Amino acid sequence: MSYADAKQVSSDVIPVIDITSLRDGTDAETVARQLHVANTGLGFIYIKGHGIPNELITKTRTAAFEFFRASPKNKEAVRVSKSHRGWIAVGGAKMEDDAKPDLKESFVWGYQDKTGNMPDDHELRGENQWPTFSPNMENIAMEYFEAAHLVAHCLMQGFALGLGLERDFFLQTNDAPLSRASMVYYPAQPEAAGKDQFGVGAHTDFGVLTVLCQDDVGGLQVQDINGEWIAAPPIENTLIINVADLLSRWTNGAYKSTPHRVVNRSGRERLSLVLAYDPNPETMIDARDVFGPECAPENPPITCGDYLNWRFAKAFSHKKA
């Protein structure tokens, strides 16, 4: 296998779990058990029965393409702010200090209340930067944000049940989430870009849970426990979700946050909708709350907000400015 290739494996390595009966409550326990097994294994799952309407996905993707195809000058007007809202041009993100910048651009937005305001309680909060050239963007993006949050909430409830906790254990401070949503555009990666060029270099996700809506192009790869890269090809009508670092910390390493990367060799452009779900910034991440006072946490307790500040400062050049 040449560099940056990935093994094609059978579908049970990355399980497919239908969450319909968790969403409607008809058999939450069975789904919770399946989620628990998957999270203590690879930590990546295809989710069926997620409930995000296809039409919403389609219109969000259309808005995203309209945005990325706009002129650099127009996109410049919403260039990413210090609070991580807006357009991140190619070169704005890299996953390792000495890596080539990722070959992607993205548009990032976050929670706002029904009147369009957002709390001013954390460095990673700020006005969403809606492009004036795309008047529908705000409504569509916020509709998608809410729909993806319903999936995240449902999954967090399943995880809590799987861990033997109260269903809403992970959702106690959750009314103004620190989550970020992104539209991520990967141009077709030219062969000449070199073998150390990735759409997104190998990384684990920072926060609690990632809800990914990929398209039919492919290119996502996940590292298995032996260090081998395996392909996570598109499966129609599924989302991919993965445990991120803060949930791994919350569960004292029982849930796995697994490295992944994107190599878009398809010759086609690729577009993902990504929700990096996190609860409110004040949420205390302490494994003793999950496993009881006798648990010896591998990491000291930290708030969600402090943890994300630390991770962001490392990863994004606009936060280093």
- Cα distances from 236 to residues 49, 166, 175, in angstroms, run 11, 33, 31
- Nearest Cα neighbor of 16 from 214, 234, 164 is 234
CB 281 within 8 A of CB 122: yes
> Between residues 197 and 286, which has the closer beta carbon with respect to ligand AKG?
197
Which of these segments, 54-62, 208-216, 282-290, 300-308, binds ligand AKG (CB under 6 A)? 208-216
Q: Based on the shown chain and the rule CB under 6 A, indicate whether residue 205 belongs to the binding site for ligand AKG.
A: yes
Q: Based on the shown chain and the rule CB under 6 A, indicate whether residue 23 belongs to the binding site for ligand AKG.
A: no
Q: Based on the shown chain and the rule CB under 6 A, indicate whether residue 112 belongs to the binding site for ligand AKG.
A: no
Which residues are within 8 A (CB) of 68 and not within 5 positions of it... i.e. 6 or more apart?
A: 75, 105, 107, 183, 185, 271
- Near ligand AKG by CB under 6 A: residue from 220, 241, 263, 285: 220
Render 119-172 in DSSP notation, one character per residue. Answer: ---STT-------TT-TTHHHHHHHHHHHHHHHHHHHHHHHHHHTTS-TTGGGS
Which of these segments, 50-58, 70-78, 212-220, 246-254, binds ligand AKG (CB under 6 A)? 212-220
Per partner kind, with CB cut-offs from 5 to 8 A, the member of Fe ion, ligand AKG, none near residue 262 is ligand AKG
Residue window 272-291: x/- pattern of binding to ligand AKG, with contact defined by CB under 6 A: x-x-----------------
Q: Based on the shown chain and the rule CB under 6 A, indicate whether residue 243 belongs to the binding site for ligand AKG.
A: no
Q: Which residues bind Fe ion (CB under 5 A)?
A: 205
Pairing of strands 229-231, 302-303: unpaired
Closest distance between Fe ion and the C-beta of residue 260, in Å?
6
Q: Based on the shown chain and the rule CB under 6 A, indicate whether residue 214 belongs to the binding site for ligand AKG.
A: yes
CA distance 41 to 17: 14
- Cα distances from 224 to residues 13, 71, 182, in angstroms, run 9, 40, 25
Which residues make up the interface to ligand AKG (CB under 6 A)? Answer: 184, 200, 205, 210, 212, 214, 220, 260, 262, 272, 274
